């Protein structure tokens, strides 16, 4: 399979979990490189649904090494909970199939509290975060006051660093009207999690380079999506990490010239959770998809905002990530639509954009320019091959791939592994 970076080409929730699971079959190692338990990757195997927030979805297959890289912010309590949940389903997480970077940063309770309080203070300008403490944890990392996994698994270091950080953060929390935290309680919980996680902790940079030397294939599992990237997304309505392909290098320590290809995952339409501009947002398609029981967030359960496919955005994503191959998911979501719209440009006053403007306020005012496609109005969820897809669905897929500017590689017609068509 070669070393492959998989990214979301839209606003997250593109169905990456399923595509990662499918591609993992031919990978040896799967690496999470950014984000934290704000992500929710849903995988359905033999009719059973698993939602993974931190551990790479590769864990659901045998003999794959799953790695949480240095670029991730890790909530240890969330991670332990996830490992216990997998064990209940008969999936054993051991140091043989799961490794955690000693330099990944730790998400602590004051990060979650600050995340929530800042959202309250922002009022109607809130970001709509997952309240998992992601922004404040990355903030501490950049400010060089974060705790890393190596600190978590060393009780003496944890005690010293945590006590200083809780002292400072309690002053901030009190000033924001939130309750201060008890050092004793937090230390006890996190020290326990640290002891549990210690056997899994390694220098993952060295580990990955050894794997490369042995000729093993690595899949880099992106979280969130291109337009939630801290640099390339619709700032400030973004997450706090580099979700784009470059993040795979910095978040794992594997250099760019060891990467062989980039796969971009996008839905056959567009969705977003949280606040921020979404030019093709459309009530009719939102109602249709929610009515089908689809498009509710895997992490927070929030209803996702839905809209038509936006090729200006996905073309931009191809450029920023260097996408070679495209996986289009949720094609079956459009099975009943009579006329399908695709955004081919934005209009802002007299200006026409064929790229995504950097200013979120301008993007929010952009009017989509649409092309229309005749719907196929036939169920596609049982289609097993390209030939079995209705001709109008094939034409639609070809058109959106062409507009996006990358090769169509996979069409997905449902959440199951078997509902995957290699083009």
Q: At 222, give phi and psi (nearest 5°).
A: -75, 150
Q: Respond yes or no: is residue 13 known to be catalytic.
A: yes
Please give the residues from 5 up to 24 whose contact with ligand IMP meets the rule CB under 6 A. Answer: 12-13
41 is catalytic: yes
**Could you say whether residue 330 binds ligand IMP (CB under 6 A)?**
no
Q: Does 134 bind ligand IMP (CB under 6 A)?
A: yes
* Residue tagged active-site, from 21, 41, 151, 332: 41
| Residue 183: other Cβ atoms inside 10 A | 16
Query: Quick check: 185 and 166 in contact, CB under 8 A?
Result: no
The CA distance from 4 to 169, in Å, is 40
Nearest to 285 by CA among 268, 302, 265, 266: 268
Q: What are phi and psi of 138, to 5 degrees?
A: -65, -30
Sign of CA dihedral 314, 275, 373, 335: positive
**x-or-dash pattern for ligand IMP, window 220-259, by CB under 6 A?**
---xx---x--------x-xx-------------------
Closest separation in Å from C-beta 185 to ligand IMP: 24
Size of the site for ligand IMP (CB under 6 A): 20
Q: Minimum distance from CB of 115 to ligand IMP (Å)?
A: 7
Find tokens 């992500």 and name the residue.
39
Angle at 376 between CA 375 and CA 380, to 5 degrees: 125
Residue 332 within binding range of ligand IMP, rule CB under 6 A: no
CB 5 within 8 A of CB 262: yes
CB of 228 to ligand IMP, least distance (A): 5
Choosing from 40, 247, 264, 357, the residue that interacts with ligand IMP (CB under 6 A) is 40
Binds ligand IMP by CB under 6 A, chosen from 18, 32, 112, 132: 132
Nearer to ligand IMP, 37 or 97 (CB): 37
Identify residues 257-286 at the interface with ligand IMP (CB under 6 A).
273-274
Instruction: Map tokens 């973004």 to a residue.
Output: 238
Any alpha helices (H) in 303-367, and if so which ranges?
Answer: 311-321, 360-365
Catalytic machinery residues: 13, 41
Name the site residues for ligand IMP (rule: CB under 6 A).
12-13, 38-40, 127-130, 132, 134-135, 223-224, 228, 237, 239-240, 273-274
């Amino acid at each position: 399979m070669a070393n492959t970076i998989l990214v979301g080409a839209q606003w997250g929730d593109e169905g990456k979990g399923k595509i990662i699971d499918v591609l993992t079959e031919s990978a040896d190692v799967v690496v999470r490189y950014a984000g934290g338990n704000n992500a929710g990757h849903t995988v359905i195997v033999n009719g059973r649904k698993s939602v993974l927030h931190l551990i790479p979805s590769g864990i659901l297959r045998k003999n794959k090494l799953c790695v949480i890289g240095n670029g991730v912010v890790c909530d240890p309590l969330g991670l332990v909970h996830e490992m216990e949940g997998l064990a209940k389903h008969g999936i054993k997480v051991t140091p043989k199939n799961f490794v955690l970077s000693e330099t990944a940063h730790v998400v602590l309770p004051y990060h979650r509290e600050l995340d929530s309080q800042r959202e309250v203070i922002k009022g109607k300008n809130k970001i709509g975060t997952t309240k998992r403490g992601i922004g404040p944890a990355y903030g501490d990392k950049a400010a060089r006051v974060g705790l890393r996994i190596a600190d978590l698994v060393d009780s003496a270091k944890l005690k010293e660093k945590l006590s200083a950080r809780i002292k400072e953060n309690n002053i901030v929390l009190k000033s924001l009207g939130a309750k201060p935290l008890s050092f004793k309680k937090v230390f006890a919980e996190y020290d326990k999690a640290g002891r549990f996680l210690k056997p899994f902790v390694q220098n993952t940079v060295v580990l990955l380079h050894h794997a490369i030397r042995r000729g093993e294939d690595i899949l880099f599992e992106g979280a969130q999506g291109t337009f939630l990237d801290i640099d390339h997304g619709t700032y400030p309505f973004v997450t706090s990490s580099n979700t784009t392909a470059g993040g795979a290098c910095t978040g794992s320590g594997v250099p760019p010239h060891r990467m062989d290809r980039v796969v971009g995952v996008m839905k056959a339409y567009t969705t977003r959770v949280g606040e921020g501009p979404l030019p093709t947002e459309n009530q009719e398609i939102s109602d249709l998809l929610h009515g089908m029981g689809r498009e509710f967030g895997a992490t927070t359960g929030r209803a996702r905002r839905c809209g038509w496919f936006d090729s200006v955005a996905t073309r931009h994503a191809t450029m920023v990530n260097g996408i070679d191959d495209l996986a289009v998911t949720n094609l079956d979501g459009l099975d009943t639509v009579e006329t399908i719209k695709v955004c081919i440009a934005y209009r802002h006053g007299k200006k026409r954009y064929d790229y995504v403007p950097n200013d979120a306020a301008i993007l929010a005012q952009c009017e989509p320019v649409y092309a229309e496609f005749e719907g196929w109005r036939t169920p596609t969820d049982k289609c097993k091959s390209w030939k079995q897809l209705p001709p109008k669905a094939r034409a639609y897929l070809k058109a959106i791939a062409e507009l996006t500017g990358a090769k169509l590689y996979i069409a997905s017609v449902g959440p199951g592994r078997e509902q995957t068509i290699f083009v």
